Amino acid sequence: MISPSEMRKRITETPPLVHNMTNVVVTNFTANGLYALGAKPVMANAIEEVAEMAGHADALSLNIGTLTSEQIEAMLTAGKAANKAGTPVIFDPVGVGATSFRDQTAKRLLAELDVDVIRGNEGEIARLAGIAVTVRGVDSEEPVENAEEAAIQTARTFSALTVMTGETDIVTDGETIVYINNGHALQSSVTGTGCLLSSVIGAFAARGEQLFDAACAAVSYYGCAAEKAAADKTIGPGTFQVRFLDELALISDDDLSRLCDISERKQVQQS
Amino acid sequence: MISPSEMRKRITETPPLVHNMTNVVVTNFTANGLYALGAKPVMANAIEEVAEMAGHADALSLNIGTLTSEQIEAMLTAGKAANKAGTPVIFDPVGVGATSFRDQTAKRLLAELDVDVIRGNEGEIARLAGIAVTVRGVDSEEPVENAEEAAIQTARTFSALTVMTGETDIVTDGETIVYINNGHALQSSVTGTGCLLSSVIGAFAARGEQLFDAACAAVSYYGCAAEKAAADKTIGPGTFQVRFLDELALISDDDLSRLCDISERKQVQQS
Amino acid sequence: MISPSEMRKRITETPPLVHNMTNVVVTNFTANGLYALGAKPVMANAIEEVAEMAGHADALSLNIGTLTSEQIEAMLTAGKAANKAGTPVIFDPVGVGATSFRDQTAKRLLAELDVDVIRGNEGEIARLAGIAVTVRGVDSEEPVENAEEAAIQTARTFSALTVMTGETDIVTDGETIVYINNGHALQSSVTGTGCLLSSVIGAFAARGEQLFDAACAAVSYYGCAAEKAAADKTIGPGTFQVRFLDELALISDDDLSRLCDISERKQVQQS
């Protein structure tokens, strides 16, 4: 499996362009996170230009955190252009389950587009898997039982690599599974840490990298940067956000080797 | 009166969900501020989903800082759902008086919705009270004379608890009044400190807290966090913003007790 | 030529109001940067109010970074109001060349409005000059040959002061040219540093200042603040962004004098 350090090196050498169609809360943090990593962000939402922009990009990140009917049409247009160009499409189903509009939109995007990666929290992934979870805002009310099975189910149903983030992060294609134990509790006090990760997976998956490995490396890299940031000059959630951007840029290969905690890839139990 | 510490404890124990329909400048800061406090933010503006989202939320915060005609309709829809559910509605009339569109929108929202709390600066509150003030951008050109009377008038006219922020913050229901002397000058160098306070009042007012006490506690808590942040590791407005988010999360009960400066609640003079 | 210190003094004494119609990625950073400088930002995009808002403002900054068809119409409305009032209009052609929608929009805005200042990077300015550059996202793929000529050509074609930022920044009206060697490499790791500079030029150009001098002072002031921030308590791009806002507010007159590197104004070669 390719290491986080090696992936970062490739990104810095030939920065991938990530086209983000994301929510209005996290645009700035997403752009700054991608720049910090050495990638290049672009944002474009107008239906007049998204196909052209997505066609030139190396990855397309779709996020329904503050969706509108215009944005959905534009996402479909951009997604189809990305599919045609063979560009990886990452889907972040923010708050799916909170409203029927989000449920329907997620279904429609997943039905009409070839989504390569789905990245969500436990409540969101469980909802996509068809499990009855109560979502208020962007989180499930209760811890999700059998979250791992939900991730596997989601991966199978939508033929998409599924990244479910939580205390332990899971990456699964429905047949094999990897557990990643990186990250820090302060991430849940900063808005957009999940959203930015989805775009970072896009940056790692760009340029024809093997998708499963790229996603694991991205998730671990991201979590290591969070651990490093939390350990040094961070006081609370404000300074953490800032220091995290620093470490996305600066974390050393030595720190990555030392902190990186990715499990073996193993077969999932047939259910 | 319930203390800021006690209010924070309740929020941390059962985090209220605050639905924010706010301007595009302050979305990120608002979400991060609510997370720092221990509350849960959600943003949703699409008319297709706002009623459902507001119906699930514990408070609804409406802010016209970058309003559009679509957003006004969605705010009315969300506001009616919140009213029906008995959920507190906070209204932040950003820049009212700067354009007739803002004047008309503020009037319409206040006429068609039961607004529980209005939070604004002196120029905005005076404008709502029908006083001829010249507003350029989001501030009044000149200091407002008789600002206190304007706040009382606004509270009476709209039957809404009115929070007017400035050097001394005022909370009034039109019959009684409280003065709060917390906060720091650097707040006026950071965009969205007023907007975030409106949402923080929402978080404090959620869950059926007594509204007057909750608003006073919120305003004081917020100002104490600003004072603490300004006093420690802040260099200028950039570091202040970051440190302020830290202190919204971390300020100790001791610091809150020491800094909190809320006056007695007194009857207003009949005019 | 008026010094950056003197310009800052005038801004602090009578803060100009800058109306920003900008992209959703940089709204917060733009507002905070203007506040840090001592100016007053306002954002308004609704066609119902932009003429009134622009008519009251001291400068109007137009930025097409996440343009929509509604925003274009509103920019035209605001721009005409600014033109009528004699208010300086700054245009930032973010990502022009990346899509035909951006190309057409830039052309239309420049044709229908009297734009006073154009601020862009080398790829964007070259594209406006009609040079065939390949733009992916918001940057040109390759370094632009003859960038200086492109800036001169753009200034002449659109009768607009042209500010082209890069390692050396260029200010030209098509007849004379100035080179400014301030700034820091970390600026390119933070989204919106170009966009904010466009609005800062607006703040410096407000109130009838001589445009060429004001733009040179703005570009140098901005670069000096970046150098100062990078030299002190900055770790990476996260802390740099924050410290940069500090220094926009706090950089001393002594530091400005010491760091300011603006060339003589010289005649351009006739081509």
CA distances from B226 to B38, B181, B197, B253, B255 (A): 17, 12, 11, 15, 12
| Greater model confidence, C191 or A208 | C191
Joined together, the tokens standing for residue B29 give 């800061």
Q: How far is CA C40 from the centre of its chain?
A: 16
List residues bridging with B45 in a β-sheet: none
pLDDT tens-digit readout, A160-211: 999 999 999 999 999 999 999 999 999 999 999 999 999 999 999 997 779 9
Q: Which CATH superfamily is domain C4-264 in?
A: Ribokinase (3.40.1190.20)
Nearest-angstrom CA–CA distance, A79 and A113: 6
The answer on pLDDT for A270 being more than 70 is no
The SS3 of residue B142 is coil
**CB atoms B69 and C46 under 8 Å:** yes
Joined together, the tokens standing for residue C265 give 């104004």
The SS3 of residue A52 is helix
User: For chain A, which residues make up each domain, given as ranges?
Assistant: 4-264
CA distances from A145 to A99, A126, A140, B67, C83 (A): 21, 9, 11, 41, 62
Provide the percentage of residues in chain B whose pLDDT is more than 90. Answer: 91
**Eight-class DSSP state of C68:** -
Enumerate neighbours of B (3 or more CB pairs within 8 A). Answer: A, C
**Hey, is the C-beta of B17 within 8 angstroms of any chain A C-beta?**
yes
**Hey, is the C-beta of A139 within 8 angstroms of any chain B C-beta?**
yes
Confidence class for position C170, pLDDT limits 50, 70, 90: very high
Question: Which of C31, C49, C247 lies closest to B101 in CB terms?
Answer: C49
Nearest-angstrom CA–CA distance, B258 and B236: 24
The answer on pLDDT for B177 being more than 80 is yes
Question: Which of A28, A57, A249 lies closest to C237 in CB terms?
Answer: A249
Q: HSE, CB side, 13 Å, CA atoms: give it for residue B64.
A: 33
Nearest-angstrom CA–CA distance, C216 and C170: 9
Average of per-residue pLDDT values in chain C: 96
pLDDT tens-digit readout, C100-127: 999 999 999 999 999 999 999 999 999 9
**Hey, is the C-beta of C48 within 8 angstroms of any chain B C-beta?**
yes
Alpha helices in chain B (DSSP H): 4-13, 27-37, 50-56, 69-85, 100-112, 122-128, 147-158, 193-205, 211-231, 237-250, 253-259
**Hey, is the C-beta of B267 within 8 angstroms of any chain C C-beta?**
no
Q: What pLDDT score was predicted for residue C135? A: 83
The answer on pLDDT for A144 being more than 80 is yes
**CB atoms C28 and B26 under 8 Å:** yes
- ipTM associated with this complex: 0.97
**CB atoms A65 and B43 under 8 Å:** yes
pLDDT tens-digit readout, B14-47: 999 999 999 999 999 999 999 999 999 999 999 9
pLDDT tens-digit readout, B112-151: 999 999 999 999 999 999 998 888 888 887 888 889 999 9
Nearest-angstrom CA–CA distance, B21 and B80: 14
Which residues touch C103 (CB under 8 Å, ≥6 apart)? Answer: C96, C97, C127
Chain B CB contacts of A29 below 8 Å = 28
Q: Judge whether A206 and A85 are in contact, CB under 8 Å.
A: no
pLDDT tens-digit readout, A41-52: 999 999 999 999
Give backbone dihedrals phi and psi of A205, rounded to 5 degrees, phi first: -85, -10
Q: Judge whether B144 and B133 are in contact, CB under 8 Å.
A: yes
Q: What pLDDT score was predicted for residue A271? A: 59
Joined together, the tokens standing for residue A253 give 């290969």
Q: What pLDDT score was predicted for residue C269? A: 78
Nearest-angstrom CA–CA distance, A101 and B47: 10
Question: Which of C29, C67, C236 lies closest to A28 in CB terms?
Answer: C29
Q: What pLDDT score was predicted for residue B269? A: 78
Nearest-angstrom CA–CA distance, C150 and B206: 58
Joined together, the tokens standing for residue C185 give 């490499």
Provide the percentage of residues in chain A whose pLDDT is more than 90. Answer: 91
The answer on pLDDT for C151 being more than 90 is yes
Which residues touch C227 (CB under 8 Å, ≥6 apart)? Answer: C182, C183, C184, C259
